[in-house]
């Protein structure tokens, strides 16, 4: 029997409860699971900085934009990047409601996770299979995630951190001319990025509100 330290991060308590029930039902002859949970970026960050985990299950969107949040628009993606930096041996599995091809492509570019499970496909069998695979240095992707990969293998379009910051600040009501205080770009450069984002999201003739709404739908803010 293998003892596992697992971290689960999600901003919905019901999901965290689900993790507890699921791991409790996994064959105890196979794994002795020590589960730690967190429901915010800040809480998870503190835990990660003082503990080493065998596996981390991360949601992508773990906090809504908040003007008082000193860390800005931090997500499960940022936690994954932090884990890769301070605990490279930890296996990372994203479990998210997002199946958007662009969002998943960015996750794989920034974190390269060991697994990705779309929440609608989660059950005890899937979780156990994902654990078995990643602990044997393989990968596990749910069916919907695999379908997305097949469709986007030739897609090299990515959204970088400046783009994400622009989207986040726009969602807070900050005007384009004032975005120069948050990204190292001129107003002209920011307008160019916004046009690129609208092109990527296929809303070229829409306004900034449409850009914000589409970014939210795709899970970037």
Contacts of 18 (CB under 8 A, 6+ apart): 122
Cβ atoms of residues 193 and 163 within 8 Å = yes
What's the confidence (pLDDT) of residue 208? Answer: 93
Radius of gyration of the chain from its Cα atoms, rounded to whole angstroms: 18
Examine the pLDDT at 69 and tell me if it is beyond 80. no
Q: Which residue has the higher pLDDT, 6 or 199?
A: 6
Examine the pLDDT at 57 and tell me if it is beyond 70. yes
In a domain, 141, yes or no: yes
Q: Quick check: helix, strand or coil at residue 57?
A: strand
Residues 8 and 39 in one domain: yes
What's the confidence (pLDDT) of residue 98? Answer: 75
What's the confidence (pLDDT) of residue 85? Answer: 94
Residues 114 and 18 in one domain: yes
For the four alpha carbons of 110, 215, 175 and 198, in that order, the dihedral sign comes to positive
In a domain, 20, yes or no: yes
User: What domain range is 120 assigned to?
Assistant: 1-151
At residue 154 the predicted structure's pLDDT band, cuts being 50, 70 and 90, is: very low
In a domain, 221, yes or no: no
Examine the pLDDT at 50 and tell me if it is beyond 80. yes
State which of 151, 185, 201 marks the end of a domain: 151
Residues 125 and 164 in one domain: no
Q: How many residues does the chain have?
A: 221
Cβ atoms of residues 96 and 61 within 8 Å = yes
Overall pTM surpassing 0.85 (yes/no):
no
What's the confidence (pLDDT) of residue 157? Answer: 63
Backbone φ and ψ of 190, nearest 5°: -65, -40
For 100-142, how does the pLDDT look when each residue is reduced to its tens digit (9 = 90+)? Answer: 777 777 788 789 899 999 888 888 889 999 999 999 988 898 8
Residues 141 and 199 in one domain: no
Query: Within its chain, how far is the Cα of 34 from the centroid?
Result: 23
Residues 7 and 106 in one domain: yes
Residues 163 and 190 in one domain: yes
Which segment, 80-89, 109-118, 210-219, is predicted with the most confidence on average? 80-89
């Amino acid at each position: 029997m293998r003892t596992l330290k697992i971290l689960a991060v999600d901003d919905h308590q019901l999901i965290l409860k689900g993790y507890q029930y699921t791991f409790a039902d996994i064959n105890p002859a196979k794994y002795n699971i020590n589960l730690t949970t967190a429901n915010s970026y800040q809480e998870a960050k503190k835990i990660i900085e003082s503990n080493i985990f065998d596996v981390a299950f991360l949601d992508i969107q773990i906090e809504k934009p908040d003007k008082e949040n000193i860390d800005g628009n931090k997500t499960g993606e940022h936690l994954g990047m932090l884990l890769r930096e301070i605990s490279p041996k930890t296996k990372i599995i994203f479990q998210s409601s997002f199946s958007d091809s662009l969002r998943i492509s960015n996750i794989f570019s920034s974190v390269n996770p060991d697994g990705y499970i779309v929440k609608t496909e989660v059950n005890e069998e899937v979780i156990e299979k994902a654990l078995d695979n990643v602990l044997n240095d393989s990968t596990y992707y749910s069916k919907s995630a695999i379908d997305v990969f097949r469709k986007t293998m030739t897609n090299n379009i990515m959204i970088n951190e400046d783009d994400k910051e622009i989207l986040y600040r726009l969602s807070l009501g900050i005007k384009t001319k004032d975005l120069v205080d948050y990204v190292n770009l001129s107003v002209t450069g920011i307008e160019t990025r916004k046009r690129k984002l609208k092109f990527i999201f296929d809303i070229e003739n829409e306004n900034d509100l449409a850009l914000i709404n589409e970014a939210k739908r795709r899970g970037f803010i």
